[in-house]
Structure 1
Amino acid sequence: MSPKNLFRPRSPRRVASGNTQHTLFTGRIAECRRPARLGILERVKPQVHNVVYEPDQIGDGHRPMKKYRINGAEINGISDLYEQFNRELMADQDWRLGASLDGFNDILYRVDSEIRAGNPAKFVWLDHAHSRDALGIDETQGWLQSKLSQPSSFNQQRIQADLDELRNGLGKTYFEIILEIFADHPLIELELR
């Protein structure tokens, strides 16, 4: 498959959340960047990886399905979310993912390529309602305000516009942005519990 086909805009996708269904629309084209170029890497010792394997529900039953678990009850802010991602996705690596949406998106491209290679995977987000609250308006405002304090690193006009939209009830919370990033990877199944 050519790189042009790998990074085309995704069509709308439905995500179930409890008794509610959300339709996520994304119109941006994802860029493939190496995490090292994003300046988000930190060298650490590899950790033991806890991945649950389940029988493949679609295929012949012989391929194990890798199940990544996100424990939403342990998420009380953005840094806690990335601790969960690092525990599940980076245990066999000698570096850790920093709190970066671009970096997280890049890691999901790695999971996409593993799925294409015949290794099915699924994310299960336990107690996602707690995470939705923890990564809601207040946390998102703090995240955007911290970006405003770094004028040489971020587009200040865009960040201010995002903050204004959030305050007016039109913007996306950090939780909703994470769901959109998952939606940009249709091969990856995300189950919200």
Structure 2
Amino acid sequence: MSKLIEINGNAVNDIASFYEEINRVFMKGESWRIGPSLDAFNDLLYGSYGALQDAQSVDLVWHHMEHSRKALGYQTTRAYYLEKLVSGSPYNKSLFAEKLKALERGTGETYFDNIMAILAEHPTIRVISG
């Protein structure tokens, strides 16, 4: 039997609020929270803690998904990449410069696209637009 988990997409207005919603839903009962990182989000989906612990499969209902898609779209993603490129940042600047160029050409992925790609890598999680 699938476990039902629901995300309120209207609560997602930027990257920080995406992680607030993820922590609210997935980390209930845990004494710690995941940070704003796609790698941390991916790790969470393996299910060894939080709401996914011991779940064989999950139906993830993402209410108001279109709102989240827009909120984590081009502008948010562009700002995210530019932040990675500031002088003194520890990130791989050439990687983020390429990602920014692709985004600006219209061929790159948005932050929302990256989230959906991560979810797609987890076959036990079925995403449902609610």
TM over 0.5: yes
Partner-residue secondary structure (3-state), 2:127: strand
Higher helix share: 2
Does 1:114 find its partner at 2:64? no
Summarize the alignment of residues 49-64 of structure 1 with structure 2, pairs less than 5 Å apart.
56=1
Which residue of 2 is the match for residue 74 of structure 1? 11
Which of 1 and 2 has higher RCO (CA within 8 Å, sep 6+)?
2
SS at match of 1:110: coil
| Runs of 4+ residues deviating >4 angstroms | none
Q: Deviations over 1:52-100 (max 9, x none)?
A: xxxx3xxxxxxxx421111111111011111110011111111111110
Q: Secondary structure at the match of 1:69?
A: strand
Name the structure 2 match of 1:89: 26
d(CA) in 2 for partners of 1:183 and 1:114? 19
Aligned length: 127
For residues 137-177 of structure 1, the C-alpha deviation after alignment (integer angstroms, 9 at most, x for no partner) is 00000111111126452110010000010001010000110
Structure with larger Rg:
1
Unpaired runs of 5+ residues, structure 1, are: 1-55, 57-64
Counterparts of 1:179 and 1:125 in 2: how far apart (Å)? 11
RMSD: 1.7
Contact kept, 8 Å, 1:163 with 1:171, in 2: the verdict is yes
CA distance in 1, matches of 2:88, 2:39: 19
TM-score, length-normalised on structure 2? 0.90
Conserved in 2, the CA contact under 8 Å of 1:114 and 1:120? Answer: no
CA distance in 2, matches of 1:124, 1:72: 10
In the alignment, structure 2 segments of 5+ residues that lack a partner are none
SS of 1:179 mapped into structure 2: helix
